A and B are shown apart, each in its own frame.
Chain A
């Protein structure tokens, strides 16, 4: 399977705990994106990497959120001191570098904060 892989698929945590998600993009894709999706809504942009450089962050990405992409390969998204409002599907996508390269999404990590 050469698609975008995300782990874990589901995560249940208690409020105040830290969680970390992993995304493995398609190997030849230089760009990597994180989105968040809540029920009934479209995905919301969180952040974007070109290789290992984090080039953009949304206002949605509070200081409790941090993302990394060491060596320009896999990426991690960490949420510290989780809140119930963080409950959502976290989606990772990757793409080639072209201006109009389509996004290839993984199947997401469903986070539930109790």
Chain B
């Protein structure tokens, strides 16, 4: 299982760029890195997924260095509504095992006005 380590909490101000880093030193060759966002009393919501280098979509960017032992979720120009818990998930369902899709404790991002 690729364990992940994230900061417990981060604060930012509206309009700033926020970078949340996740460490996954034991990542396996076939593992992908997926980030989820969770608001209180809701289920996690998929944000972005990547394998290596950089991935960008309409809400975020994901930076993965060559050794893949960490990844950084980048949220451009955050707003108050981005206040949520962000989870980094590392795994691969190729072998048919869901057990490894294990969430850590996540990072509580608080955006201040």
Contacts of A58 in B (CB 8 A): 99
CB within 8 Å of B: which A13-32 residues: 31
Number of interface residues of B (CB under 8 A): 25
Partner of B98, one of A4, A56, A104, A110: A56
Q: Across the interface, do A99 and B93 meet the contact criterion of CB distance under 8 Å?
A: yes
Bound Cα distance A70, B41 (Å): 28
Which residue of B44, B92, B104, B105 is within 8 Å of A99 (Cβ)? B92
Beyond A43-B103, A45-B101, A50-B96, is A103–B44 a contact (Cβ under 8 Å)? Answer: yes
Interface of B is mostly: loop
- Contacts of A103 on B, CB cut-off 8 Å? 36, 44, 46, 101
Residues of B within 8 A of A89 (CB): 41
Contact B87 A42 (CB under 8 A): yes
Question: Assuming the A-B contacts A40-B105, A42-B103, A102-B46, are A56 and B41 also in contact, with contact meaning beta carbons closer than 8 angstroms in the complex?
Answer: no
Residues of B contacting A98 in the complex (Cβ-Cβ under 8 angstroms):
93
30 contacts between A and B (CB under 8 A): A4-B43, A31-B93, A31-B98, A40-B105, A41-B105, A42-B103, A43-B44, A44-B103, A45-B99, A50-B96, A55-B98, A56-B98, A56-B99, A91-B43, A93-B43, A99-B30, A99-B32, A99-B92, A100-B32, A100-B92, A100-B94, A101-B93, A103-B36, A103-B101, A104-B46, A105-B43, A105-B44, A107-B42, A108-B41, A108-B43
